[in-house]
Structure 1
């Protein structure tokens, strides 16, 4: 397989879009009894949702229909999977295949994003 740069051509394209989202932390305030959630970005291939948890809040066992990426931006969570529990911290990402059951419990005030990887239509 050859790299476009090997042949003097510029790799990539100048066509397309770039969407920059700022201020994600604090955008979805949690209520007294449940985490807050808000859609940050949505297009034909991805949906990004920001979640804000107060310490001790949790999402019980659930599953996403599509594969997802969970990225911790702030705080710390106990992330339960069928075969193990992860201690997620800022800067860490977990990829889950479609319909994999999981649960989340905030060990401190936490912001995380869930990126749903949607099939192309």
Structure 2
């Protein structure tokens, strides 16, 4: 029987160094949330997109340019960002970067015009 929790002592240990590309791995999923660990090689980018649920980004290591809406911000180990559903965003890794994405299920994009 598996324990009723998910535990990782060090998310950096769960990532794999990459020479090129982006690796994503779901490390937890239930009916209310999904946690995805992303590893980016330097120079890799997730182009502009939106999510249908609110999301949280937690940068574990590295340095990246994080675009939220029309603003581009510097992200590094310790950076936290909460995004409402439907917000346009993008990520470009300046160095090898590890990031945790938490998708918060059960919430949706705000109604059009709000």
- Could you tell me the TM-score, scaled by structure 1's length? 0.77
The Cα of 1:82 is off from its aligned counterpart by 2.1
Size of the aligned set, in residue pairs, is 103
Question: Contact 1:26 / 1:111 at 8 angstroms: preserved in 2?
Answer: no
> Aligned-pair distance for 1:24?
2.6
Q: Give secondary structure in 2 for the equivalent of 1:25.
A: helix
In structure 2, C-alpha distance between the alignment counterparts of 1:35 and 1:81, rounded to whole Å: 20
Supply the distance in 1 between the matched residues of 2:96 and 2:13 (Cα, whole angstroms).
Answer: 10
Instruction: State which structure, 1 or 2, has the greater radius of gyration over its C-alpha atoms.
Output: 1
Asked if 2 retains the 8 angstrom alpha-carbon contact of 1:67 and 1:98, the reply is yes
Runs (5+) with no aligned partner, structure 1? 1-16
1:62 is displaced (CA, Å) by 0.8
Which whole-Å CA distance do the structure 2 matches of 1:31 and 1:95 have between them? 29
Alignment of 1:30-109 (within 5 A): 30=18, 32=20, 34-109=21-96
- The two structures have a TM-score, normalised by structure 2, of 0.81
Q: CA deviation at 1:81?
A: 2.0
Cα distance in structure 2, aligned partners of 1:90 and 1:25:
11
